[in-house]
A and B are shown apart, each in its own frame.
Chain A
Amino acid sequence: MIEPGFLAELFTSFLIVLGAGFALVGSWGLVRLPTLMERLHGPTKATTLGLGGILLASVMFFQLTQGAWSAHELLVSIFLFITAPISANMVAKVHLHEERLSETVSVGSAAGKVPASPGAGDWATYEAPHRDTPVTTSDK
């Protein structure tokens, strides 16, 4: 007869190992991918499922052992989902600046140089947003 406590521990252990595994793979991606823009993919992505697994394990653990639902993990994941794309975006924008500043051919991405903006004007990192476009939030 397997006691329920054992199953609970087995399940949470599985989630923790899964989450930690994804965090490890993301960190390894940071080390081994060729250049800055590719490296950006590793850590920003590992946080989503890596941390997701660990947080889910935390929720399950407190529910199964103490019978109390904990909501803080949900908040942590919401804040993470809001902030992770922004920090990735900031690093990418720095890359755009770096590339324009450097005289030599860019080595920041295996995909080559940043393409020119196909629309009217440049990318918004280089140029102020045009008026009356979706980029501005003016009240109409």
Chain B
Amino acid sequence: MRRLIPHPGLSVLLAVVWLLLANTLSFGALLIGIIIGIFLPIFTAPFWPRRPQVRFRHAIPYVALLLWDIIVANFQVAAIILFRKDDDLHAAWLPIPLELDTPEAITVLAGTISLTPGTVSVDVSACGKWLLVHALDAPDPAAEIARIKARYEARLKKVFI
């Protein structure tokens, strides 16, 4: 079914991004932002057939947690780079079993893992049930997998229905 506004969240985001680009809150900029926000999702709707269900009251604490983790983990990785000898570095491949089952949720989890220093998402399995992650320093791979699942995936399950 074609809707007038196929992706309301995307429309709002586009309008806000336009206002940030214009760097003003004038009526003209707002008008152009709204026009872009309405028409761009309509033209790109064929690329986005599904509409992910996002619960924003869970998404906002998740973003806050993510920002905090990025700051903390940046210091940890900086310490590893500066002070750790190569022999003491326990790099590991972590195959993470996924419970998330929508492409959007898995993408956000993969992005989270790449943004939090010390881990990079490498690939998803063809069956979509495993995520391959490379960790810079994980002496106990099983514990690291459990930490990622508990800290990020469990929270994302509440964000994406």
Contact = CB atoms under 8 A, between A and B. Distances in A.
Interface of A: 22, 25-26, 28-29, 32-34, 37-38, 40-42, 44-46, 48-49, 52, 70-72, 74-75, 78, 81-82, 84-85, 88-89, 92-93, 95-96, 109-112, 114-115, 117-130, 133-140
Contacts of A37: 91, 120, 134
Interface of B: 17, 19-21, 23, 49-50, 70-71, 73-74, 77-78, 81-82, 86, 89, 91-93, 95, 97-98, 100-103, 106, 110-111, 114-115, 117-118, 120-130, 132, 134-136
Contacts of A33: 81, 86, 89, 136
A90 to B, nearest CB: 10
Q: Chain B interface secondary structure, helix, strand, loop or mixed?
A: mixed
Contact of B23 (A70, A109, A128): A70
A133 B106 CA distance: 12
Contact of B20 (A40, A74, A96, A140): A74
